[in-house]
């Protein structure tokens, strides 16, 4: 059960300090938004490059950008831990996943709440992680969309059927109240923005989320 705090909810004025507060997490989730694929703009390659230099924990890059086929590989070449691209944005998802992996970086494919899980089945052989978005991408602090829960179970079953070691990530509205249920349904990798950075003691909150996820896992 891996916890990835999203720095979208951190104080952008002090990333170095904010990253230190989440040192007990598995990686820092970095939301790259281009104001085209989603109606919000965060940071791009130069900032992510610097974050990767100063962070003591690995970076999990979530690309919410339109030109992902050309720009995605540049993030992989920074030597981050993982690069996630959206199926909806890529014209050549198979080629992109292979290109990311060829940089020695984990490749992941993400689907938005209304995108069918069946559309990623062919890609499972070429990725390390599948991200099922549990909110519409673009902003932190939204409520999890309940209709995405059956998709988490469906995605888990598809992964089991593939026989591959693929991590199942959920992102959006994950809190200590729903994380056990998400783990029970098959998620093993949890992004949490406001549920971590909204608390003064981040280490305590990360531990609380992880413990709740473990409980959900044991009830599978």
Helix orientation angle between 68-76 and 93-102, rounded to the nearest 10 degrees: 20
51 near ligand DX5, rule: CB under 6 A: no
Q: Exposure of 85 by Cβ count < 10 A (0-12 exposed, 13-18 middle, 19+ buried)?
A: buried
Among 26, 31, 34, 188, binds Zn ion (CB under 5 A): 31
Total of chain residues touching ligand DX5, rule CB under 6 A: 22
DSSP, res 55: -
Among 62, 86, 99, 202, binds Zn ion (CB under 5 A): 62
Q: Report in angstroms the alpha-carbon separations of 182 from 25, 47, 92, 103, 173.
A: 18, 32, 30, 31, 11
- For residues 157 and 188, which CB has a smaller minimum distance to Zn ion in the complex? 188
109 near ligand DX5, rule: CB under 6 A: no
Interacting span for ligand DX5 (CB under 6 A) from 119-127, 169-177, 178-186, 199-207:
169-177
Residue 191 CA to residue 90 CA, distance in Å, equals: 22
Is residue 60 part of the annotated active site? The answer reads: no
Q: Of the residues 26, 34, 171, 188, which is catalytic?
A: 171
72 near ligand DX5, rule: CB under 6 A: no
112 near ligand DX5, rule: CB under 6 A: no
Nearest to 95, CA basis, from 52, 126, 131, 140: 126
In b/e form, how buried is each residue of 4-14, taking b as 16+ CB within 10 angstroms?
bbbbbbbeeee
Among 3, 19, 25, 31, binds ligand DX5 (CB under 6 A): 31
Q: Report in angstroms the alpha-carbon separations of 17 from 23, 82, 93, 183.
A: 10, 22, 35, 30
187 near ligand DX5, rule: CB under 6 A: no
- For residues 104 and 200, which CB has a smaller minimum distance to ligand DX5 in the complex? 200
Among 48, 51, 174, 185, binds ligand DX5 (CB under 6 A): 174
Residue nearest to ligand DX5 (CB): 193
Is residue 188 part of the annotated active site? The answer reads: no
- For residues 78 and 171, which CB has a smaller minimum distance to Zn ion in the complex? 171
Rounded to 5, what percent of the chain is helix, strand, coil? 45, 20, 35
Structure tokens at 38: 């989603």
Nearest to 117, CA basis, from 145, 63, 156, 89: 156
Do 43 and 10 meet the contact criterion of CB atoms below 8 Å apart?
no
82 near ligand DX5, rule: CB under 6 A: no
Among 89, 192, 209, 212, binds ligand DX5 (CB under 6 A): 192
- For residues 58 and 138, which CB has a smaller minimum distance to ligand DX5 in the complex? 138
Please report, as ranges, the residues that interact with Zn ion according to CB under 5 A: 31, 62, 171
Catalytic residues: 31, 171
């Amino acid at each position: 059960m891996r916890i990835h705090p999203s720095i979208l909810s951190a104080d952008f004025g002090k990333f170095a300090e904010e990253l230190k507060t989440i040192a007990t997490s598995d990686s820092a989730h970095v939301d790259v938004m281009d104001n085209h694929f989603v109606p919000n703009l965060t940071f791009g390659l130069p900032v992510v490059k610097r974050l990767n230099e100063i962070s003591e924990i690995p970076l999990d890059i979530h690309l919410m950008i339109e030109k992902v086929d050309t720009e995605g590989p540049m993030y992989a070449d920074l030597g981050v831990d993982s690069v996630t691209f959206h199926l909806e944005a890529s014209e050549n998802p198979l080629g992109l996943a292979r290109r990311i992996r060829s940089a020695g970086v984990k490749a992941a494919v993400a689907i938005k709440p209304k995108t069918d899980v069946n559309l990623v089945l062919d890609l499972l052989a070429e990725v390390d992680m599948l991200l099922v978005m549990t909110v519409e991408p673009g902003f932190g602090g939204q409520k999890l969309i309940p209709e995405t829960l059956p998709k988490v179970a469906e995605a888990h079953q598809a992964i089991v059927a593939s026989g591959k070691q693929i991590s199942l990530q959920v992102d959006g509205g994950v809190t200590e109240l729903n994380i056990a249920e998400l783990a029970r349904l098959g998620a093993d990798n949890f992004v949490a923005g406001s549920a971590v950075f909204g608390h003064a003691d981040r280490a305590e909150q990360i531990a609380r989320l992880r413990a709740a996820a473990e409980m959900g896992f044991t009830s599978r």
